[in-house]
Amino acid sequence: MVGIASCALADCCDSLQTARSVCEFHGIVNIAARRLGFQWFAYLRLSDQMPALLSSYPSPFQRRYLDLRLCDEDPIVRHAKLVSVPFTWGDAGDVDLRSNSNERVVREATKCGIRVGVTVPIHVCFNTFASLSFAADAMPPLDLTQDTSALQLMALQFHVHFTNQAESVETSEPVLTHRQQECLKWSARGKTMSETGTILGISERTVLFHVQDARQRLDAQTITQAVAVAIHRKEIPEI
């Protein structure tokens, strides 16, 4: 019998071949996560530079994860660095978060309903590590004994295509105006339209205009996605 992940893998890999924007990559993996029965996904890449995170996790958690560098103390990341196969975490998982309930990352995740999940380690080279995680508030009926190979291939395919595309994006010309970059930068830092307007000395309506225009230029469906695209294009700094 073909596993759930095997079915999701075929569609995911086909879509990755033609993905050209961060928004498209985000959408492809988000659909795969839903087909696997999960609510969220998170792709994390660690290297000598700042950690890179592409995720559908709630925005407050994403911001705090990067601001506080929670990846440095994340029990899931620590475990992923030590193993080579997908593993479950949460209640009765390979990584039992209840035993780490005092850690900040666990508290922050639980606040947003992130309680269980599956993580696929991606061991790239000596100084670069990546992982692809799928999370939910309750574990879906995923059979890792049957779906391990499919999950590993999905994660590796995503990493290769996304990294190659990100490298080409980094060398492309900016598409945002200076004012649009400023508005997105403050939005990424959790400021409201009104607060951003006060900081920049412009009206709330003008901020909204710049943010919406930036979203369209970056081919993003939401402001959160626009921020992610802008960060990957290096048009605004890491959060």
Give the pLDDT band of residue 1 (cuts 50, 70, 90). Answer: very low
Task: Summarize pLDDT for 94-119 with one digit per residue, the tens.
Answer: 888 777 766 788 888 988 899 999 99
Q: Comparing 72 with 122, which gets the higher pLDDT?
A: 122
87-89 β-sheet, strand order = 52-55, 40-46, 128-136, 116-125, 87-89
Contacts of 106-111 with C-beta under 8 Å, sequence gap 24+, read 106/75, 108/61, 108/64, 108/65, 108/70, 109/61, 111/61
What pLDDT does residue 211 have?
92
Q: Quote the tokens at residue 193.
A: 């339209």
Model confidence, pTM: 0.71
Contact in structure between 210 and 180 (CB atoms under 8 Å): yes
pLDDT beyond 50 at 171: no
Q: Quote the tokens at residue 118.
A: 């599956």
